[in-house]
A and B are shown apart, each in its own frame.
Chain A
Amino acid sequence: MRFAFTPEQDELRRQARSLLAGPEPSWQELAELGWLGVSVPEEHGGAGLGFVEEAVLLEELGRSLYSGPYFATVGLALPVLPPEQQARVAAGEVRWSAALDGWLVPNLDAVERVATEDGAAPAEGELVESVDESRPLGRLAPGPREPLPGKLDCARAYAALAAEAVGVAQKALDLSVDYAKTRQQFGRPIGVYQAVSHRIADMYVETELARSLAYWAAWCVAEGDQQAPVAAAAAKSYASEAAVAACERAIQVHGGIGFTWEHELHRYYKRAQWIESFGGYPAVQRAEIARALLD
């Protein structure tokens, strides 16, 4: 048993963290960095790694509220595509999304192709604005579908969302800690008041628990472990709730400024809520788990 990342995975995270601290990279830059082909086999132009590495990137992309269709392309569609399409994804030549299980299609406006349960389709249909402006949804137009070799995997989608949610929760926590250390009221930094600091301590505990579940789910998906569906459902439900709660506490810690359009917190809050609802609210995943445990 060893529940930690490898030095290479830690290095990937460091690289992602530092790059994403700057201006948002273009899709082509992600291709050049090799982030689009992390799990694509080497003979098709990828790095031949797996979902654990993708989860590291998804977490960091969540932390920086990346606006491109990485979750849609890599998190949802990539594994079901034929090798030649995977190679094109890795090269940044084509972007995909997916229509899973009757869910709306994320980033329909920003992709060229959509994987469905019945095969591939062009990204044509009705665009739906979403709570998270950077991640619109869509309803795919009916039409012929071209067969795809793989089958869309709900567990992988949940695990990807959980990884993003951990990134969002961590960012809300970091913003709150920084603010509580510097913002002064009654002549002292507000972090000295336990009504503030204990709220932040709770954010920390929940974020760490969410992190543990998200990494577990990522490992199960990467290994094809039989626990993957339950692990991913657990991770998605807990991590998305933790992210929403972290953002809500962060807004309260920030006071008035946290409620403004100008402050970045509302964008994290909206991403957290997008993640919480996408693919069903946490109660839906818990109902699945209850069925697995009790029936």
Chain B
Amino acid sequence: MELRDTPDEAAFRAEVRAWLEANLPAELRGHRGGAGRFEELGRDWSRRVYEAGYAGLTWPREYGGGGAPYSHQAILFEEFARAEAPSHIGVIGIGMAGPTIMVHGSEEQKRRYLAKILSAQEIWCQGFSEPGAGSDLSAVRTSAERRDGHYLVNGQKVWSSFAHIADWCLLLTRSDPASERHAGLTYMVVDMHSSGVDVRPLRQITGEAEFNEIFFTDVEVPVENRLGEEGDGWAVAMTTLLHERGTLGFALTGTLDVAVRKLLALAKERRLEDTRLRDKVAEEWIELQALKLTNYRSLTKLVETGIPGPEGSGSKLHWSEQNQRLTKLALEILGGEAAANGDGEEAAYWRHQQLRSRGNTIEAGTSEVLRNIIAERVLGLPRSR
């Protein structure tokens, strides 16, 4: 057990910290994302992150990655959080598309897609959920009809972050119309600039539109865009979801770290004396440490066995509920001014965070689905369905 950085880790941490100090534009520090302006800045910022060698740090070098150990990835997340630097804009590409293509893609597909994810030349989105297929993903109905050399895709996807700026979509379709549930699904990547793709933003309770609906009308997708075999889409989709939740821990804890730091600053600035509120602030700090340390345990397991531990679902579950709690706590500390929501008001920042946090227990696996995963796959309880 050694909780300090090794000399190699310390050197990497110092390097990242110095790079951020020299390169992070002031207007991006602490940027909450979501707004349109961020997308232009975000591409530029992501390109700089890539050029510095910090995008896809653990990916193999042959696909443009850094070939670095997972511990460096963890340090990178921590230092980005510490500097309140925005993450690379290609979160879906790096966290989901890349790992899925590395496992199921052909050599040609790997060469075509992976490097451009890291350089932010191409942005990715995910087309999994549908109006009738949320937590029950196996109910997807978007159809892919095999024609000469292509699939003809028709259907509707929803809750798709980045779709309005994406170049590619990870699409889960039903290729066998007679099939049910997990059988007869096919996974493909779709050029978002194809004819018949229509993206409509969904305005959410914060007033912003981070998510979109995507409508596919007679979209022709070349057969070579398929990942895995026809009919094997479910297995490919599970790889995507494993990575969605598996690699998420450090990134999420990074955002929570920023939130707790801001909460502490707020409590200090207001000279917080109320015993009950001080108790709650301490609780948030303690639980942040607990999440961080749990990530370290998972990371050590990942480094030593190559297999991520089952803790990922638990971390996401706890993170989402904690984020909801602490953003409300910040508003309570602001007291009577908490309802003020004008530009520049301190309460407006926290109100945005608080409203946005309601999505945390729904997106990337609802808390109900995550509890099922823990009960069934971690603890071995009998299946509820």
Contacts and interface: CB of A to CB of B under 8 A. Distances in A.
Given A201-B374, A205-B374, A212-B293, A290 B380 contact: no
Given A202-B371, A216-B293, A189 B382 contact: yes
A21 interface: no
Interface stretch (A24-32, A126-134, A144-152, A190-198): A190-198
Nearest to B381: A191
B197 interface: no
Interface string B368-382: 101110111011111
A268 interface: no
B108 to A, nearest CB: 38
A212 B291 CA distance: 8
A194 B9 CA distance: 43
A3 B291 CA distance: 13
A219 B294 contact: no
A287 B294 CA distance: 24
Contacts of A269: none
Nearest to B311: A208
Interface string B250-293: 00000000000000100110001001001101110111011101
B314 A208 contact: yes
B286 A212 contact: no
Contact of A197 (B5, B279, B371): B371
A198 B272 CA distance: 36
Interface string B207-232: 00000000000000000000000000
Contacts of B264: 293-294
Contacts of B111: none
Summarize A's interface: helix, strand, loop or mixed.
helix
Nearest to B5: A1
Nearest to B267: A294
Chain B contact residues (Cβ within 8 angstroms of A): what range?
35 or more
Interface in B1-16: 1-6, 9
B318 interface: yes
A216 B289 contact: yes
Contacts of B291: 209
A294 B333 CA distance: 14
A204 interface: yes
B287 to A, nearest CB: 7
B5 to A, nearest CB: 6
Given A52-B1, A210-B290, A286 B279 contact: yes
B383 A1 contact: no
B275 A287 contact: yes
B2 to A, nearest CB: 5
A286 B284 CA distance: 10
Contact of B282 (A177, A209, A286): A286
Contacts of B314: 201, 204-205, 208
B324 interface: no
Contacts of A9: 1
Summarize B's interface: helix, strand, loop or mixed.
helix
A215 B289 CA distance: 12
Interface in B25-43: none
B1 A177 contact: no
B209 to A, nearest CB: 32
Contact of A201 (B286, B294, B379, B383): B379
B318 A4 contact: no
Contacts of A198: 368, 371-372, 375
A105 interface: no
A197 B275 contact: no
Given A216-B289, A219-B3, A294-B268, A3 B296 contact: yes
Max chain B C-beta neighbours (<10 A), residue from A215, A231, A234: A234
Interface stretch (B98-106, B186-194, B299-307, B342-350): B299-307
A154 interface: no
Contacts of B272: 294
A283 B282 CA distance: 9
Given A210-B290, A293-B285, A180 B381 contact: yes
Max chain B C-beta neighbours (<10 A), residue from A1, A180, A197: A1
A194 B285 contact: no
B1 A215 contact: yes
Given A205-B374, A290-B282, A294-B264, A1 B290 contact: no
A3 B3 contact: yes
B71 interface: yes
Given A9-B1, A209-B294, 12 more contacts: A3-B296, A3-B299, A3-B300, A189-B382, A197-B384, A200-B381, A201-B372, A204-B379, A205-B374, A213-B286, A238-B287, A293-B264
Interface of B: 1-6, 9, 71, 74, 264, 267-268, 272, 275, 278-279, 281-283, 285-287, 289-291, 293-294, 296-297, 299-301, 304, 311, 314, 317-318, 368, 370-372, 374-376, 378-384
